[in-house]
C-alpha cells in the first residue's frame, strides 16, 4: 500500500496551517490597530479553518491507521518515524520527510505568532483595566464612613508667656 494518501493529507494540513498563520498575522495587526469589529470577523474565519483542520487531521489519522494495519504494524505507534522505518520507496520517504518538516516549521511559526497575539491582548486588557481604574473613583474617596480627623495637639512650652 502506498503512502501517497498520507502525503496528500499532510500537504493539505500544511496548506491549512499556512492559512491559519496568515490569519494569525492579520489578528496581530488588528489587535495593534484596535479594530474589534474586523477582529471578530477574522475570528469567524479562523474558527472555520480550525474546523477544517480538525476534519483533515481525523482523515490523516485514519489513513495512517489503514497504512499501519496493511503493513501489519500496531496502530498505537502512529508516528512519522514509524512510517519512515517501514517505508521502502525512497522517493516517498523524501516526500513525507519534506512535507512533515515543513508542517512542523509552520506549526512552530503559528505557535510563536499566537503567543505574540496573546501577549498583545493581555497588554490591551491591562491598559483597559488601568483606564477604568483611573476613571472610577476609589471607594476610600467617597464621603461614606468614618472621617479621619487630624488630632490637634497644643504644645505648651515651659514658659507661658504672652506678648
| pTM of the shown model | 0.77
Burial class (CB in 10 A: 0-12, 13-18, 19+), 25: middle
Cβ 67 vs Cβ 55: under 8 Å: no
Report how far residue 157's alpha carbon sits from residue 46's, in angstroms, rounded to the nearest whole number. Answer: 80
* Residue 112 within a domain: yes
* Residue 159 within a domain: no
- The helix (run of H) or strand (run of E) holding residue 119 is helix 90-135
Instruction: State mean pLDDT over 3-22.
Output: 96
* Residue 86 within a domain: yes
In this predicted structure, what is the pLDDT of residue 157?
A: 57
27-36, 46-55, 148-157: range with lowest mean pLDDT:
148-157
* Residue 99 within a domain: yes
Backbone angles phi, psi at 108, to 5 degrees: -65, -40
Q: What is the pLDDT of residues 100-124, one digit of tens each?
A: 999 999 999 999 999 999 999 999 8
**Domain region containing 118:** 4-122
User: Which is nearest to 120 in space by CA: 24, 31, 23?
Assistant: 31
Number of domains in the chain: 1
* Residue 45 within a domain: yes
Cβ 16 vs Cβ 56: under 8 Å: yes
Q: Kindly report the number of other CB atoms within 10 A of residue 45's CB atom.
A: 14
Report how far residue 38's alpha carbon sits from residue 95's, in angstroms, rounded to the nearest whole number. Answer: 39
Amino acid at each position: 500500500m502506498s503512502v501517497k494518501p498520507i502525503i496528500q493529507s499532510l500537504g493539505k494540513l500544511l496548506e491549512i496551517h499556512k492559512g491559519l498563520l496568515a490569519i494569525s498575522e492579520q489578528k496581530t495587526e488588528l489587535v495593534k490597530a484596535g479594530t474589534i469589529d474586523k477582529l471578530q470577523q477574522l475570528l469567524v474565519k479562523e474558527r472555520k479553518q480550525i474546523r477544517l483542520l480538525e476534519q483533515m487531521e481525523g482523515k490523516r489519522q485514519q489513513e495512517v491507521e489503514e497504512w499501519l494495519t496493511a503493513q501489519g504494524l500496531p496502530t498505537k505507534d502512529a508516528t512519522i518515524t514509524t512510517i519512515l522505518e517501514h517505508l521502502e520507496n525512497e522517493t516517498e520517504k523524501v516526500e513525507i520527510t519534506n512535507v512533515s518538516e515543513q508542517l512542523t516549521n509552520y506549526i512552530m511559526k503559528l505557535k510563536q505568532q499566537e503567543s505574540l497575539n496573546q501577549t498583545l491582548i493581555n497588554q490591551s486588557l491591562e491598559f483597559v483595566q488601568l483606564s477604568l481604574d483611573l476613571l472610577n473613583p476609589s471607594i476610600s474617596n467617597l464621603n461614606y464612613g468614618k472621617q479621619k480627623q487630624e488630632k490637634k495637639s497644643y504644645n505648651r512650652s515651659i514658659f507661658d508667656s504672652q506678648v
